[in-house]
Amino acid sequence: CQVDAGEQGQFQIVCGAANARAGIKVPLAMVGAQLPGDLQIKKAKLRGVESFGMLCGQTELRAGDDDTGLWELAADAPLGADLRQVLDLDDKVLELDLTPNRSDCLSVRGVAREVGVLNRLSVNELEIQEVAPVDASAVAVALKAPEACPRYVSRVIRDIDISRPSPSWVQERLKRAGIRSIDAVVDVTNYVLLELGQPMHAFDLNKLQGGIQVRWAQADEKITLLNGQALDLKRDSLVIADDVAALALAGIMGGADSAVSTQTQNILLESAFFQPLAVAGRARGYGLHTDSSHRFERGVDYQLQRQAIERATQMLLDIVGGQPGPVVDVVDERHFPKTRQIQLKKSRIYSGLGLVIDPVEVLEILTRLGLVVLSDTAEAWEFAVPSYRFDINIDADLLEEIARIYGYAQLPTRISAFAVELHNVSDVRLDKLSLKRHLVARDYQEIITYSFIDPKLHQVFFGDGAAVSLQNPISADMATMRTSLLPGLVQTLKNNLNRQQDRVRLFEAGLVFEKADTGYPQRQQLAGLIYGPRKGVNWAHAKTDVDFFDVKGDVESLLGLGGGDISFTPAGDLPFMHPGQSAWIHRDGKKIGYLGALHPSLGKTLGLPKMALVFELEVEGVLLGQLPKAQPISKFPEVSRDIAIVVDKSQSVAAIEQVIRRAAGDVLKQINLFDVYSGPGIELSRKSLAFGLIFQLASRTLTDDEIQTAMDAILHALTQEFSANLR
């Protein structure tokens, strides 16, 4: 290749690129140039031909991703000029992170407005002139879903020359914003998107059949998008269609069947306003995320559509020529957003920000933000919110803007001072934290599970028991409100077992829900679960599994915090509990919960290899306590007697102890059960119970006769009540 480098002279360069041809302008790296990757350009001889430099592509200069050949520059690029200057490569690219509420800054114009406000500078607003139509062509537009698209602006442009490329300055600005140049029509719509923040689309006019309809997708309707993805449209998807089929997924992406191509001569430009809620989540539902959906989901200026059409028209006429038709602006006033008006009381500035600020400065800040003063009285201002600020709705939003512009660092800081009334702390009531700490001290771990459970899990535990079903569940396996804490505990147990944790001790405190005629009452419950070995692996003790008495001991210890008369009765009527290893829990005669082993069939259904022990208590019944009463220590000796009796196996030890205390009277201080036996020497239906009895009075020493009298009374009562025999 003979290369003309202007004032630098002419050079002979060997080049193997497929697009090397006479007349094109490309980057030249002369001898001595340093390329990315530490590539030093030197004089070389290739196949006997000397080469004095290198013609470059985009990837070789790391200035793009086109690796098909030489980087072809614009035809008007000056010969011999520094490539950095020609393409303005020494500029700065700013990458901004935005919160979702600031959609107005998703454009150069929006960022410029913000910079102007923060720095008290005037903004060089873009002057957009209306383009006079020279052709009468127009396409009829019907808004069949005005609640989702209340405004649709369009314009026909005929006789364009799409073979003309976009100017290099347009291509470079798009590239530095992360957008690849395609053709002049697509480039202009993308440029307006970045410049003004209004997503646009262009249809090939010759591919349309009839007018434009903005409507919801129909049943079994399909579309193939510009990226080649074929979609079965959902009924809640908004589409742009002609009289025959859907042309684009509204606010997300255009369709391939109506796309602009190298043969396009006539186009239809569109610029619409879509309500954010009509577009939100639709792209994600199809596995898409586009520049258009990103903006429409957050909110686009509803007064911007006509400006965008005029701006795009002028740019297209300058690049590809054409005959523009009139602008068709269709608006449904019933659903079109109205200008929001907000009242800001002047006293709110101090009460909300703790700041005394000159009203003149407040007005200066808010008017620079684009708000228009409608009224100004001694008490308040009335402002009209600009159409591009979707995040300003109430007076608190105005306070936030004042604080932001005025400067957070300048807001005064002070320690809040207010009167605090100290509440009485009851001596006869515990708190939930003390219950949790006690269980943690007994080697339990607290968990927090969802209040929603799988309806199938509810069925497994409670059968046809009344379920509190949700009308709008977040998923199918979370469609029922829990009526007990046990399903969550068991599900957590299974998760632990799946992770090779064979010793589990859990508890949870939370609300359970019931279904009643008057509504859905809620109760605070406390539940626990133990499973597996009684203690962790250790040389000092044998590896034995937990049983009924482990969970009973934990519950007794917990209830002992508040005192009271604690008793247990068989609970054979609980369908999800083991009929022979479960008990109701009573405190001072009131039923407050239950404990025991899960029913074996339930454990089998849930896939539990071993028996799980559980308890569930009403928190309110546990929190109530009693004041402890001090008693003097007796100075007189204790007397111990043992008694062993044989009773039916069905008899409860608790009931027997009650009879013993009643029969012995005040002289009996303590009862200890120290042996339970059944086997040889005892009838199969009976068992032997051995009790240690301690007698003592605080006022005097007991005589042998008094003790014997008490023992005789105890034995007589046991014989009468339980048909007991002295062993």
Please write down the HEC assignment for all residues of 394-425.
Answer: CHHHHHHHHHHHHCHHHCCCCCCCCCCCCCCC
Q: Are 329 and 171 in contact (CB under 8 A)?
A: no
Across residues 450-477, what is the average pLDDT? 87
| Residue 160: predicted pLDDT | 96
Which are the contacts of 294, defined by CB distance < 8 A and separation ≥ 6? 106
Q: Is 32 within 8 Å of 41 (Cβ atoms)?
A: yes
Tokens of 710: 């008490």
- Report the alpha-carbon distance of residue 642 to residue 210 in Å, rounded: 105
- Please report the pLDDT score of residue 654 as a whole number: 86
pLDDT class of 632 with cuts at 50, 70, 90: confident
User: Which pLDDT value is given to residue 254?
Assistant: 95
State pLDDT tens for residues 394-446.
999 999 999 999 998 888 887 877 888 888 877 778 889 999 999 999 999 99
**Cα–Cα distances in angstroms (integers) from residue 59 to residues 36, 68, 69, 91, 409, in the given order:** 10, 9, 9, 19, 46
Residue 477 scores a pLDDT above 90: no
C-alpha span between 55 and 3 (Å, rounded): 9
Q: What is the pLDDT of residues 325-373, one digit of tens each?
A: 999 999 999 999 999 999 999 999 998 888 889 999 999 999 999 999 9
Own/partner pairs, 585-593, CB within 8 angstroms, 24+ separation: 585/555, 585/559, 585/615, 585/617, 587/559, 587/621, 587/622, 587/624, 588/564, 589/565, 590/621, 592/617, 592/618, 592/621, 592/622, 593/555, 593/617, 593/618, 593/621
How much is the average pLDDT of 684-694? 94
Given this model, what pLDDT does residue 255 score? Answer: 95
What is 525-554 written as a DSSP string?
A: EEEEEEESBSS-S-TTS---B--HHHHHHH
C-alpha separations of 602 from 405, 452, 456, 504, 608 in Å:
63, 20, 13, 18, 9
For the chain, what is the mean pLDDT? 92
pLDDT at 52 over 80: yes
For 22-48, how does the pLDDT look when each residue is reduced to its tens digit (9 = 90+)?
A: 999 999 999 989 898 888 888 888 888
Q: Can you give the pLDDT at residue 463?
A: 83
Q: Is the pLDDT of residue 172 over 90?
A: no
Which residue is associated with the tokens 């100290």?
422
Q: pLDDT: is 558 or 627 the higher one?
A: 558
User: In the structure encoding, which two tokens stand for residue 305, read together?
Assistant: 């559509």
pLDDT band of residue 633 (cuts 50, 70, 90) is: confident
For residue 267, name the pLDDT band (cuts at 50, 70, 90): very high
- Token duo for residue 182: 């395609």
Q: What is the spatial distance between Cα 1 and Cα 474, in angstroms, rounded to a whole number?
A: 67
Mean pLDDT within 663-677 = 93
What single string gives the DSSP state of each residue in 292-326?
HHHHHTT---TT-HHHHHHHHHHHHHHHH--EE--
Q: Are 346 and 355 in contact (CB under 8 A)?
A: no
Closest CA to 206 of 253, 268, 262, 163: 268
* pLDDT tens digits, one per residue of 55-94: 999 889 888 778 889 988 888 888 888 998 888 888 888 8
What pLDDT score was predicted for residue 412?
Answer: 86
Q: Measured between alpha carbons, how far is 535 from 90 in angstroms, rounded to an integer?
A: 70
Overall average pLDDT of the 99-115 stretch: 93
Quick one: average pLDDT of 579-600? Answer: 93
- Summarize pLDDT for 294-337 with one digit per residue, the tens: 999 999 999 999 999 999 999 999 999 999 999 999 999 999 99
pLDDT at 47: 83
pLDDT value at residue 302: 96
Give the per-residue pLDDT at 418. 82
User: Residue 213's pLDDT band (boundaries 50, 70, 90)?
Assistant: very high
The percent of residues in the chain predicted with pLDDT above 90, rounded, is 70
